[in-house]
Every structure is written in C-alpha cells, then in structure tokens.
Amino acid sequence: MSEKKKFLLRLDENLYASLEKWAADDLRSVNAQIEFLLTDAVRKSGRLNSQDVNNDNRDSSDSGSSAS
C-alpha cells in the first residue's frame, strides 16, 4: 500500500457538518468521504489514470451494474 500525503485542510463549519453527516450515512469517516469525493471528481474529469489510485479507495457499489 502506498503512503498517503498528509496536509491540513480548513473548511467552513457548515460544509464540514454536511460532510460529517454524509460520511455517517455512507458509513465512512469524514476523511474517507472527502478522499472518495475527490477521487470520484478527478476520475470523472478524466484527470486520473486507473493506476494512480489503489482499488481500496473505490466504493464497492461504484463497480457498476451487474444487469446486462
């Protein structure tokens, strides 16, 4: 597993409260929720190679539909 970069992030109190609730709804920590959201946004923008992020950052429900 690659080492993760640590840095300080300052957020508006209301934004943090919203992220905290969302994280709890998804059974994640706030840190994991922020990382999930950022990874998803970067992936959707096409700015992330699949090899740049370990599969352990992916939500298991994000793997796509099994219906075909």
pLDDT in tens, 17-34: 999 999 999 999 999 999
Tell me the C-alpha to C-alpha distance, in Å, between residue 34 and each of 1, 24, 28, 44, 50.
19, 12, 10, 15, 19
- 66 or 20: whose pLDDT is higher? 20
DSSP state of 47: -
- 45 or 63: whose pLDDT is higher? 45
